Amino acid sequence: MAGNSFGTVFKLTTFGESHGEAIGGIIDGCPAGVSIDFDAIEAEMQRRKPGQSAIVTQRKESDSVKFLSGIFEGKTTGTPIGFVIDNTNQKSGDYSHIKDTYRPSHADYTYDQKYGHRDYRGGGRSSARETACRVVAGAIAKQLLKGVAITAYVSSVGELTLDKPYSALDFNKIETNPVRCADPELATQMEAYIKDIRKQGDTVGGTITCVLQNVPKGLGEPVFDKLHADLGKAMLSINAVKGFEYGSGFAGTQLKGSEHNDRFNPDGSTQTNYSGGVQGGISNGADIYFKVAFKPVATLMQTQETINNLGEVVAMKGKGRHDPCVVPRAVPIVEAMAALVLADFYLRSRLSKL
Amino acid sequence: MAGNSFGTVFKLTTFGESHGEAIGGIIDGCPAGVSIDFDAIEAEMQRRKPGQSAIVTQRKESDSVKFLSGIFEGKTTGTPIGFVIDNTNQKSGDYSHIKDTYRPSHADYTYDQKYGHRDYRGGGRSSARETACRVVAGAIAKQLLKGVAITAYVSSVGELTLDKPYSALDFNKIETNPVRCADPELATQMEAYIKDIRKQGDTVGGTITCVLQNVPKGLGEPVFDKLHADLGKAMLSINAVKGFEYGSGFAGTQLKGSEHNDRFNPDGSTQTNYSGGVQGGISNGADIYFKVAFKPVATLMQTQETINNLGEVVAMKGKGRHDPCVVPRAVPIVEAMAALVLADFYLRSRLSKL
Amino acid sequence: MAGNSFGTVFKLTTFGESHGEAIGGIIDGCPAGVSIDFDAIEAEMQRRKPGQSAIVTQRKESDSVKFLSGIFEGKTTGTPIGFVIDNTNQKSGDYSHIKDTYRPSHADYTYDQKYGHRDYRGGGRSSARETACRVVAGAIAKQLLKGVAITAYVSSVGELTLDKPYSALDFNKIETNPVRCADPELATQMEAYIKDIRKQGDTVGGTITCVLQNVPKGLGEPVFDKLHADLGKAMLSINAVKGFEYGSGFAGTQLKGSEHNDRFNPDGSTQTNYSGGVQGGISNGADIYFKVAFKPVATLMQTQETINNLGEVVAMKGKGRHDPCVVPRAVPIVEAMAALVLADFYLRSRLSKL
Amino acid sequence: MAGNSFGTVFKLTTFGESHGEAIGGIIDGCPAGVSIDFDAIEAEMQRRKPGQSAIVTQRKESDSVKFLSGIFEGKTTGTPIGFVIDNTNQKSGDYSHIKDTYRPSHADYTYDQKYGHRDYRGGGRSSARETACRVVAGAIAKQLLKGVAITAYVSSVGELTLDKPYSALDFNKIETNPVRCADPELATQMEAYIKDIRKQGDTVGGTITCVLQNVPKGLGEPVFDKLHADLGKAMLSINAVKGFEYGSGFAGTQLKGSEHNDRFNPDGSTQTNYSGGVQGGISNGADIYFKVAFKPVATLMQTQETINNLGEVVAMKGKGRHDPCVVPRAVPIVEAMAALVLADFYLRSRLSKL
């Protein structure tokens, strides 16, 4: 089975190569009766869009989404929601430099090994352009999840790390700077650093922290589809992601049980939240928080040695316009994938009891 | 939809509560013609079993598995493999201390919130006893994956950390010590530390590193079912796991692209392996390696304050025999889940090309 | 993907060969809080059981089911329900007559072609013994579907056909005769005919009609998972079934639209019910009725010519005790499969609206 | 879960309402390397198209399909194939006569009951326009199934019935007449009858027979996903279908086992084929043949009494241009659905053996 669907009840299936005619998707399983705010969807697309600031790729992409079905008189009908995003800028055409050449740490080699036949134009299916469809679907999922707050922000760029816990941050600051870091001072440093990296023709990695608030209790389907397990898969399915931790995460492995256990308050809430809002794979109503690791972008504006499909060593220089650091634009993608997971598990939770 | 199935083609569905009559499962989708080595399955079960050493729980559990179908004259028939493991030790009976009480950082509270009605005996479905079924299925998956080497080991206990890369270790040492650490000297320290923690009635977390070698190229189903994404989900679905990273992981976020990119050799292999054997979600033939974070076990042999289902504060003391540190016994579980993912994606990869 | 699961939300997965150690299954997705009446389950098993009357096989089978999980203090817990039925009578052992021989119109040849390796004892997985698991799960589904009436009866044996519409029958008569025909007079003729067929060492086919009453409106998931489409698949998955029709069925193809359309009453009910309770794939609250065609049992108590796996012609005589006509014992199986479909679509319908 | 996907490995998901902006779909799981003949796809679309002859609806519909992804340089790439078909003729706009009114034996009432909110324009999602997407996907499935012959034809219109077995027919005659009946003489009568029915403002039902030849042995996944069970579901999911039978079908219920059993030839083929090419749910290499029952179209060009959503009785007259008999245009749809099933099971069969 191929792997272009995400979710079980609220299910997104996507299609599209970066330089084909269009990308798009189908959401099957969105219940009838959800009022759709198209401006809110457009706003999410703007957050993911290339060219939005000086520190992201200056590539031009039409990210305008066209809905083809499933919404009538402003509300979902319960039938599948089909949508497309045209690839208006895809004619360019000269891909001879990558047609037979495998870019280091890209998917060119593995796609050839797996499929034997690949759309080499601009990365084809492995391009991050595919994530635009995730943002569309995530924006609809957010509208289904009335009352739930999903907030992501950049928590590190290279070694520049935001050390404060999320609870010490003002989320209103996130969108005030192009890095999408919740700490404006650190954001300024990050921005300068990214510009410097770009001048070098290099790239750098970073992390994003995401917080889910007002999540209903009872979401999660043990023993395999634990809520955090599907959140982890969702994040790891985003291009360039290398790691995921939630709650106390890797640091929590160094604690003792007596330090790590979250004591209950009489109302069922807990005094601490090392659990990260999930116990036994099921949400407990506390904030869910997790961190996602992104590697540095593989496309460099430098000359690199690589090989072609004959195994010959060739020199390759990145063409076009690429992100020196992916995390600022990945913030809405992280949120979108979190929204997809929550919408799916929210609907699934309706089936738990008679 | 409930979440007790794992995998798409090689699919495991499990059932069972820790103190019910039995646990068990069904593997549907194992191809016909796999020769089954029952001793090898039994050996995996022994590695997971309670009471195997002085640093794990001394609880007695029958982990003897009985196969009921799908194997005939020593080979799989392509029909579903049903198996059960009896809960021989489950009569005990006095659960009044947990019936109405929610243990801190356990799943008692969330199961009640989700289902309204719960088998409270010994943790019920949320007990780690459930992982015995994963080990059974993983052992069969390993037998399907002839030639692939799956090796996990403890890489930290609390702050005691094995800093060497896996390539500097002798995997033959792993099973020479009860901690399952590949470095015998460090293993001795870890063992002493775990004994000390146990004396305190406390628990501690740790990490496990897993290495997959000789994995065929081409495994992984983008864009959502990337190989590492499903490995991540598999690990995060194991009790007590809080994090997952593969390849360069969280540390890789601090590198530049020019440092992180894996240069090709003419034969398609790479000079470095920051990618962790997966590019664009598809295996490239290099070693796959990842690390899994386990929190400290929540059951303490200390008195803790907690609440009951009336919201009243009550004192609770752990009864029975529990693991002071879960990682030694989790090593075969990590391997089993990795085997399930690889078997599933190996079969799925047969469908990639005409 | 193998095909041993049925349903999407209320999902049954089964295992087991007729002469292996046991058969059984797992129901995943039964909501918590369903009160389980074990006697009612047992009663359904008795209806399917061999040896229950003079016109069915006199084979002895233990059809006693053992529940292993998912039910606690008389109610479902929302966790998977595992169950097994031991094959107590399977030791017998002499299968040399079928080991290398393909019985005509059985599955021996196709299993060998497909899997290469087959459990030849007593039909293995292709034996109708497998349907016992369907009856167990169907009995639980019935208990979930409070208020829905599911009634099947034999509507023909060979050319002996019950021509009255279901509405003209007294369903209380069905269980008063061993044929399970709702018309006692015709039942007597059918019984005599079956006895005669058995004396000849021959077998005969028949049909079963099934009526579903008090089904909630809104069940069915267009455009592919129409309610009647999944009912059809459910029935066609039962051994020996060759056809399915619902509502006006094949006869309805000869009507004009002006005759066939069901006029509405002001309350939304209809004056006629050619639609068979389903319109556009969704239940409309009217009775759902359908008919299922069963071919004659392939195992004859006569000598037949056939071939072995070397392509040699051999003579074969049916051994053991077999049903001369399958429909009397298939009645509870038809009901069970209908219950599984309704339970699944009932739960799925909870997801249709916000 | 919603039901707009069909297939497990070769999986089609569709979207679209008849009078929305477009309909379309995604095929996920088509292997890489299938050469695509776009003219052949277009030819299938022409067979389904309105206005193709004097006996079908004269409605104008653009059935021109645009492929957006998954095909590169004339071959599939293994990535999802997205496609859309614009609804060019959908502006019309006056639906006041059906907005609040439930047409008899249509899906208006049940959609309202299920979803609460419905796109009432032209039938919305329940319109048979949706089947255009099935034909697109089926045409690709046919190209995957090199060597398999899939042939459907009209075998009855009202009481006019083609009594010959398929083996006595010349399939080359099917496309020589607008009815798509394989017997030209009967076709002429059928054509005259349909014209007469249309003059009456009435409609009539019919049946389609379909024959699958050169199907590989071993397709089918017992015990639930038997090949004929999924063929049955596929057919029953087509608008207006009321019944399905394969092989000996309903008539076979009247035979004795000694008449019905298919004797083997030494090469594994059979002397008769009452089994219909499937034994135990698995193809045996013989021809697969089945018959599908279609009810008369519900939209009449007559005035009918019906109700509105307030339960008031209103008079309604069919507007627009509708098919007096659906079977001629349903022939390519039946073939398409058969192709989808075969493609899916062909790929699944690759997983049966090690």
D288 touches chain B (CB under 8 A): no
Kindly give the parts of chain D with pLDDT less than 70. 89-94, 96, 320
Please list the residues that pair with B85 across neighbouring strands. B23, B65
- The whole-number pLDDT of residue A195 equals 97
User: Is there a contact between A49 and A61 (Cβ–Cβ < 8 Å)?
Assistant: yes
- Which residues in chain B have their CB less than 8 angstroms from residue A3's CB? 220-226
For residue C111, give how far its alpha carbon lies from the nearest alpha carbon of chain D (Å). 7
For residue B172, give how far its alpha carbon lies from the nearest alpha carbon of chain A (Å). 25
Q: Minimal Cα distance from C351: which residue of A?
A: A31
For residue D352, give how far its alpha carbon lies from the nearest alpha carbon of chain B (Å). 5
In a domain, B354, yes or no: no
Edge-to-edge strand list for the sheet holding D313-317: D101-102, D303-308, D313-317
Interface A-D: count of C-beta contacts within 8 A: 173
In a domain, D97, yes or no: yes
- Which residues in chain D have their CB less than 8 angstroms from residue C243's CB? 243-246, 249-250
Q: Do D282 and C225 touch (CB under 8 A)?
A: no
- Which residues in chain A have their CB less than 8 angstroms from residue B224's CB? 3-6, 233, 237
- Residue ranges of E strands in chain D: 5-6, 11-15, 22-28, 65-67, 71-72, 75-76, 81-86, 101-102, 149-157, 160-161, 206-213, 241-246, 278-279, 282-283, 288-294, 303-308, 313-317
**Sequence-ordered list of residues with C-beta below 8 angstroms from that of C91, at least 6 positions apart, any chain:** none
Which H or E run includes B165? none
A24 touches chain D (CB under 8 A): yes
Q: Do C232 and D233 touch (CB under 8 A)?
A: yes
Q: Do A125 and D79 touch (CB under 8 A)?
A: yes
Q: Minimal Cα distance from C28: which residue of B?
A: B2
Which H or E run includes B330? helix B327-349
Q: Do A28 and D20 touch (CB under 8 A)?
A: no
Structure tokens at A218: 């009872």
Query: How many other CB atoms sit within 10 Å of the CB of residue B292?
Result: 32
- Which residues in chain A have their CB less than 8 angstroms from residue C34's CB? 354
- The whole-number pLDDT of residue D22 equals 96
Q: Minimal Cα distance from A66: which residue of D?
A: D21
For residue A78, give how far its alpha carbon lies from the nearest alpha carbon of chain C (Å). 6
D91 touches chain C (CB under 8 A): no
- Which residues in chain C have their CB less than 8 angstroms from residue A354's CB? 31-34, 144
Q: Do A354 and C1 touch (CB under 8 A)?
A: no
Lowest mean pLDDT among A193-207, B297-311, C50-64: C50-64
Select from D106, D114, D233 the Cβ nearest to the Cβ of C230.
D233
Confidence class for position C129, pLDDT limits 50, 70, 90: very high
Q: Do C242 and D237 touch (CB under 8 A)?
A: no
**Cα separation, A200 vs C245, whole angstroms:** 71
Query: What is the number of domains present in chain D?
Result: 1
At B288, which CATH number? Answer: 3.60.150.10
User: Is there a contact between B334 and B44 (Cβ–Cβ < 8 Å)?
Assistant: no
Each residue of C63-80: b (16+ CB within 10 Å) or e? bebebbbbbbeebbbbbb
User: Is there a contact between B238 and B131 (Cβ–Cβ < 8 Å)?
Assistant: yes
Select from A197, A224, A306 the Cβ nearest to the Cβ of B264.
A306
Q: Do C237 and D249 touch (CB under 8 A)?
A: no
Three-state secondary structure call for residue A266: coil
- Which residues in chain B have their CB less than 8 angstroms from residue A299's CB? 257
CA torsion B186-B192-B197-B200 (nearest 10°) is -160
**Sequence-ordered list of residues with C-beta below 8 angstroms from that of A131, at least 6 positions apart, any chain:** A48, A238, A239, A333, A336
**Which chains, if any, share at least 3 CB pairs under 8 A with chain B?**
A, C, D
**Cα separation, C12 vs C58, whole angstroms:** 29
**Cα separation, D109 vs A258, whole angstroms:** 60
**Cα separation, B92 vs B94, whole angstroms:** 6
Radius of gyration from C-alpha coordinates of chain C = 21
User: Is there a contact between C26 and C80 (Cβ–Cβ < 8 Å)?
Assistant: yes
- The whole-number pLDDT of residue D112 equals 95
Percent of chain A whose pLDDT exceeds 90: 87
**Sequence-ordered list of residues with C-beta below 8 angstroms from that of C100, at least 6 positions apart, any chain:** C308, C309, C310
For residue A190, give how far its alpha carbon lies from the nearest alpha carbon of chain D (Å). 37
Q: Do B34 and D354 touch (CB under 8 A)?
A: yes
Q: Do B79 and C116 touch (CB under 8 A)?
A: no
Instruction: Give the residue-averaged pLDDT of C281-294.
Output: 98
Instruction: Give the residue-averaged pLDDT of A23-32.
Output: 98
C252 touches chain A (CB under 8 A): no
User: ipTM surpassing 0.95, yes or no?
Assistant: yes
B89 touches chain A (CB under 8 A): no
Looking only at Cα atoms, what is the longest distance across chain A? Answer: 68
Q: Minimal Cα distance from D85: which residue of A?
A: A68
Instruction: Give the residue-averaged pLDDT of C223-251.
Output: 98
Q: Minimal Cα distance from C218: which residue of D?
A: D114
Instruction: Give the residue-averaged pLDDT of C61-82.
Output: 94
A2 touches chain C (CB under 8 A): no
In a domain, B135, yes or no: yes
Q: Do D351 and B29 touch (CB under 8 A)?
A: yes
For residue B163, give how far its alpha carbon lies from the nearest alpha carbon of chain C (Å). 41
**Cα separation, D115 vs D119, whole angstroms:** 10
For residue C73, give how far its alpha carbon lies from the nearest alpha carbon of chain D (Å). 30
Structure tokens at C162: 């019950």
**Cα separation, C222 vs D15, whole angstroms:** 11
For residue D287, give how far its alpha carbon lies from the nearest alpha carbon of chain A (Å). 28
Structure tokens at B97: 């201390």
In a domain, A354, yes or no: no
pTM, 2 dp: 0.97
Structure tokens at A69: 């079905």
Question: Which residues between 206 and 225 in chain B have a beta carbon less than 8 angstroms from any beta carbon of chain A?
Answer: 206-207, 217-218, 220-225
Residue numbers of the domain that contains D315: 5-349
Select from D29, D144, D353 the Cβ nearest to the Cβ of B31.
D353
C321 touches chain D (CB under 8 A): no
**Which chains, if any, share at least 3 CB pairs under 8 A with chain A?**
B, C, D
**Cα separation, B39 vs B139, whole angstroms:** 10
In a domain, C325, yes or no: yes
- The whole-number pLDDT of residue A36 equals 98
Instruction: Give the residue-averaged pLDDT of C139-144.
Output: 98
B318 touches chain C (CB under 8 A): no
pLDDT tens column, C319-345? 767 899 999 999 999 999 999 999 999
**The pLDDT of residue C315 is above 70:** yes
Mean pLDDT per segment of 10 residues, for chain B of length 354 residues? 97 96 97 97 94 84 89 97 88 70 95 94 92 98 97 98 97 98 98 96 97 98 98 98 98 98 96 98 98 96 91 84 93 98 98 96
For residue B175, give how far its alpha carbon lies from the nearest alpha carbon of chain A (Å). 22
Please list the residues that pair with B264 across neighbouring strands. B270
- The whole-number pLDDT of residue C316 equals 87
Three-state secondary structure call for residue A26: strand
For residue A129, give how far its alpha carbon lies from the nearest alpha carbon of chain B (Å). 11
Q: How many CA atoms lie within 13 A of B246 on its CB side?
A: 32
Lowest mean pLDDT among A197-201, B254-258, C106-110, D118-122: D118-122
In a domain, A245, yes or no: yes
Distance of CA A212 to the CA centre of its chain: 14
Residue among C10, C66, C68 with most chain B CBs within 10 A, to mutate = C68
Among D87, D117, D112, D82, CA closest to D16:
D87
**The pLDDT of residue A92 is above 60:** no
- The whole-number pLDDT of residue B123 equals 87
C129 touches chain B (CB under 8 A): no
**The pLDDT of residue A80 is above 90:** yes
Q: Minimal Cα distance from D323: which residue of C?
A: C257
Residue among C12, C26, C101, C223 with most chain D CBs within 10 A, to mutate = C223
- The whole-number pLDDT of residue D317 equals 79
**Cα separation, D52 vs C163, whole angstroms:** 41
Q: Do B250 and A312 touch (CB under 8 A)?
A: no
For residue B31, give how far its alpha carbon lies from the nearest alpha carbon of chain D (Å). 5
Q: Do A105 and B6 touch (CB under 8 A)?
A: no
